[in-house]
Amino acid sequence: MHIHNYINGHLTPAQSGNYLDNYDPSTGNVYSHIPDSDAADVQAAVEAAEKAFPAWSTCGLQERYRILHRIADLIQEQVEELAQAESRDSGKAISTSRTVDIPRAQANFRFFATAILHFSSESHHIEGQAINFTLRQPIGVVGCISPWNLPLYLFTWKIAPALAAGNCVVAKPSELTPMTAFLLSKICMEAGLPAGVLNIVHGLGPKAGQAIVEHPKIKAISFTGGTATGRILARTAAPMFKKLSLELGGKNPNLIFADCNFEEAVSTTVRSSFANNGQICLCGSRVYIERPLYEKFRNELVRRVRQLKVGDPFNDDTNMGALVSKQHKEKVMGYLSLAKEEGGAILCGGESVELPGGLSGGYYLSPAVVEGLPNTCRTNQEEIFGPVVTLQPFDTEEEAIAMANGVEYGLASTIWTQDISRASRVAERIQAGIVWVNCWLLRDLRTPFGGVKNSGVGREGGTEALRFFTEAKNVCIKYS
């Protein structure tokens, strides 16, 4: 099966005619081929987007609302087909694709279709002299580049606000998980999105992705991916003064105080550690537990993690499917070896899981809980982005905050306590863009989303995204 680019309203191969293999992580077999696009394909996409921009940016909010809403409807109608495709491409459990990934892709379109109708700009009055009003105008052609962990979910999280704000888009999904982006091209055609408004170019990051970032006509880039890649993007885009939104890696802390609601804290920590195989940027990977609770919490966590079912992504009762690629599984296992070298004890999991029959070549790994490591070791400092968490005890609030903040990342955190004063105090001092108190991944699409430190620059979500995808122009009118 061949995936195609979506350029100027048509499904086309890469101009070079070259393809890349696309693997099914559940079996380890190649099951489709992706266009190996390069600068020539990006050029064609930019030309199509430029041509479409005047009409799309002036067609009116109601028209953009109507088409984006239609796309949301079609995603909803095709939820099962899209969920199957997402699990085939990424190895994730079908229950996750069905209940998280695809519903959220639908919600992204619906949310921003509506949000643009409510978006307003500012006005500043100079008493007796003049009135200023701010126009928020679409930028033009913008680039959206997304990772493999939540493929359609994150792809649409960028595309939907960009389109709603009146921009035309050149987008690239991860080369590891291109399938649902391809299916989205078909949905956009069916929904009547005008040709060139959205262009999807498939291929490798350093080739097709880099060509998007380097293109002088692409004035803004919204990127989600690794911190190292973000650095390359920033280096490339800065001399061209492009607007940049960088949503990067994380090493998120969970702070469990002894007065927490034990049941909720432990069950949510299982989820926040191992949902989507730990391959969510918001997953907590460092669990800090107040010493009086440490042993009880650790024992219960390990007991429940042992019950998680690693298996065929297409079984309804599978909790954890395959990791996304052979290389990624090797990377995660490398970190488990490192954890042992650094003196850690693996309390459960961390073993390659061999499944029978056609699944024997798949990339399965049992979820691992590690203890006994210092906060400063590499296992506790570097992003693993897999089914591995470490546990550490703490004695004081001060110590917990220092350990939580003692990494170069700052994306998300959870705090578990019944003491609202402490929760507020600690939330204020945690270096992160998102803090959840007594919950995790409770998302409201209106809230600012993003990280601090090496977890990124800028915010997405709600008004923040619409502001990112528009240029502000102040108009000052003097009274006569």
Q: Which residues bind ligand NAD (CB under 6 A)?
A: 145-149, 154, 172, 174-175, 205-206, 209-210, 213, 224-226, 229, 232-233, 247-250, 281, 383, 385, 411, 451, 455-456
CA 256 centroid distance within chain: 25
Strand partners, 253: 286
Contact of 180 with 151, CB cutoff 8 Å = yes
CA 225 centroid distance within chain: 7
**If DSSP states are collapsed to H, E and C, what string results for 163-188?**
HHCCCEEEEECCCCCCHHHHHHHHHH
Q: Residue with the closest Cβ to ligand NAD? A: 205
Contact of 415 with 430, CB cutoff 8 Å = yes
Closer CB to ligand NAD, 72 or 213, in the complex: 213
- In the complex, the smallest distance separating the C-beta of residue 449 from ligand NAD, rounded to whole angstroms, is 7
Closer CB to ligand NAD, 218 or 373, in the complex: 218
Sheet holding 141-145, edge to edge: 10-12, 5-7, 198-200, 168-172, 141-145, 218-224, 243-247, 456-457
Closer CB to ligand NAD, 170 or 188, in the complex: 170
Please give the Cα distance from 264 to 439 (Å, whole number). Answer: 8
- In the complex, the smallest distance separating the C-beta of residue 323 from ligand NAD, rounded to whole angstroms, is 12
- In the complex, the smallest distance separating the C-beta of residue 122 from ligand NAD, rounded to whole angstroms, is 28
Closer CB to ligand NAD, 64 or 92, in the complex: 92
Contact of 364 with 328, CB cutoff 8 Å = no
For 253, the 3-state DSSP assignment is strand
Nearest to 391 by CA among 351, 343, 344, 321: 344
Please give the Cα distance from 365 to 351 (Å, whole number). Answer: 6
- In the complex, the smallest distance separating the C-beta of residue 227 from ligand NAD, rounded to whole angstroms, is 6
- In the complex, the smallest distance separating the C-beta of residue 289 from ligand NAD, rounded to whole angstroms, is 24
| Marked catalytic residue, from 281, 300, 371, 460 | 281
247 catalytic? Reply is: yes
Nearest to 353 by CA among 320, 376, 401, 304: 320
| Neighbour count for residue 477 (Cβ, 10 Å) | 10
| Marked catalytic residue, from 86, 175, 247, 460 | 247
3-state DSSP percent of the chain in helix, strand and coil, to 5: 45, 25, 35
- In the complex, the smallest distance separating the C-beta of residue 10 from ligand NAD, rounded to whole angstroms, is 22
Contact of 410 with 383, CB cutoff 8 Å = no
- In the complex, the smallest distance separating the C-beta of residue 414 from ligand NAD, rounded to whole angstroms, is 16
Encoded tokens for 251? 């090493």
Residue type at 164 in one-letter notation: A
Closer CB to ligand NAD, 105 or 266, in the complex: 105
Do strands 243-247 and 29-35 pair parallel, antiparallel, or not at all (unpaired)?
A: unpaired
Catalytic residue list: 247, 281
